[in-house]
Amino acid sequence: MDAYAATAAQPAYPIPENVFAERVVSVKHFTDRLFSFRITRPASFRFRSGEFVMIGLPNAAKPVFRAYSIASPSWDEEIEFFSIKVEDGPLTEHLQKIVPGDTVLMRKKPTGTLVLDALLPGKRLYLLSTGTGVAPFASLVRDPETYEKFEEVILVQTCREVAELRYITELVEGLQDDPLVGEFAADKLRLHTTTTRDSFVRMGRVTDLMRSGKLFTDLGLPAISPEGDRAMICGSMDMLNETKSVLQGFGLVEGANNAPASFVVERAFVG
Ligand SMILES: Cc1cc2nc3c(=O)[nH]c(=O)nc-3n(C[C@H](O)[C@H](O)[C@H](O)COP(=O)(O)OP(=O)(O)OC[C@H]3O[C@@H](n4cnc5c(N)ncnc54)[C@H](O)[C@@H]3O)c2cc1C
């Protein structure tokens, strides 16, 4: 029996008031480094699409909590996460073993800057991510409000391997049949995945592709401009800094919840 399952039946952790204990509904593994899972949603839990929350497991008297972007939209009846598996990672070495019926802890207060309210009105929204940084955008592209506010939504995810693009590719394909956003997504959402290692139809880092202009040529769009374009960035610290400076070069200005502007950023992990 693995470490998590051995302790899951009898949580060592007395659930405090600021934590929900939720049941795992489903788990899907994509690669040896990536998986997604869905948990039950507490009736009183409210969040804005794009926000993150702290999650943990009831496997110790003092559980390890880590920040996780909520990948499902704010209207969904369940909560979805898209996760890395870090070898010997204090949380994910156990989290990657969860099965339906297990318990996941979730702190009650969501937060974050990748929310529509932090952007000024615009025509086109760029959602720029690497790796699990696509998670908050998996939430936003399933929220009708995104399509009410923008005429066009360009979702970019760069990963090393083709297999790492599967989560978002399948999700966007599945939107065709979604009764709530299917029609909007068909008209307005464009997924632009790229790889940096595996051979693929589109290759290269998003920063290089923006600097060279290839991203815009491939999409058949003009280069980013502050008039109509807005952006959100989620990736490693290096990716954030580099992408930020590229966007600033196009004249975009960083915003926040209390000071909306033309782009916002969030770290996909602390590294
Ligand atoms: C605002 C925010 C939102 C986040 N959202 C997500 C999310 O939606 N999905 C997710 O998997 N993680 C997310 N993370 C990272 C998450 O908090 C944990 O770091 C991750 O789950 C690993 O936990 P751990 O305890 O196993 O290892 P940790 O001790 O937390 O990490 C060990 C090392 O693994 C690397 N690492 C950690 N997370 C990642 C990652 N996601 N991708 C690549 N390398 C990583 C880093 O180098 C880190 O130093 C988020 C972090 C922040 C700050």
Cα of 267 from ligand 1 centre, angstroms? 9
Provide the terminal-to-terminal Cα distance of the chain, rounded to the nearest Å: 31
**Dihedral, CA of residue 204, residue 209, residue 215 and residue 217, to nearest 10:** -110
Question: By alpha-carbon position, which residue is closest to atom 33 of ligand 1?
Answer: 271
pLDDT over 60 at 140, yes or no: yes
Per-residue pLDDT of 189-209, as tens digits, reads 999 999 999 999 999 999 999
**Can you tell me the distance from the alpha carbon of 226 to that of 82, in angstroms, rounded to the nearest whole number?**
31
Confidence (pLDDT) at 7: 47
Cα of 150 from ligand 1 centre, angstroms? 30
Confidence (pLDDT) at 6: 42
Per-residue pLDDT of 9-58, as tens digits, reads 556 678 899 999 999 999 999 999 999 999 999 999 999 999 999 999 99
7 or 141: which leads in pLDDT: 141
pTM above 0.85, yes or no: yes
Residues in the chain: 271
Question: By alpha-carbon position, which residue is closest to atom 35 of ligand 1?
Answer: 271
**Can you tell me the distance from the alpha carbon of 9 to that of 55, in angstroms, rounded to the nearest whole number?**
18
Cα of 133 from ligand 1 centre, angstroms? 10
CB 32 within 8 A of CB 166: no
Per-residue pLDDT of 2-22, as tens digits, reads 445 544 555 667 889 999 999
Rounded to the nearest integer, the mean pLDDT of the chain is 95
Number of H-type helices and E-type strands within the chain: 9, 11
193 or 1: which leads in pLDDT: 193
Cα of 239 from ligand 1 centre, angstroms? 15
Confidence (pLDDT) at 155: 98
Give, for 126, the enclosing helix (H) or strand (E). strand 124-130
Domains of the chain: 3-107 (2.40.30.10), 116-267 (3.40.50.80)
Mean pLDDT within 141-149: 98
Confidence (pLDDT) at 1: 42
Mean pLDDT within 141-163: 98
**Can you tell me the distance from the alpha carbon of 166 to that of 109, in angstroms, rounded to the nearest whole number?**
30
- Is the minimum distance from the CB of 69 to ligand 1 under 6 angstroms? yes
Mean pLDDT within 164-187: 96
Mean pLDDT within 244-271: 95
Among residues 111, 3, 109, 116, which one has the least CA distance to residue 57?
Answer: 3
- Is the minimum distance from the CB of 132 to ligand 1 under 6 angstroms? yes
Mean pLDDT within 153-177: 97
Counting residues of the chain whose pLDDT is more than 70, the rounded percentage is 96
- Is the minimum distance from the CB of 37 to ligand 1 under 6 angstroms? no
Confidence (pLDDT) at 234: 98
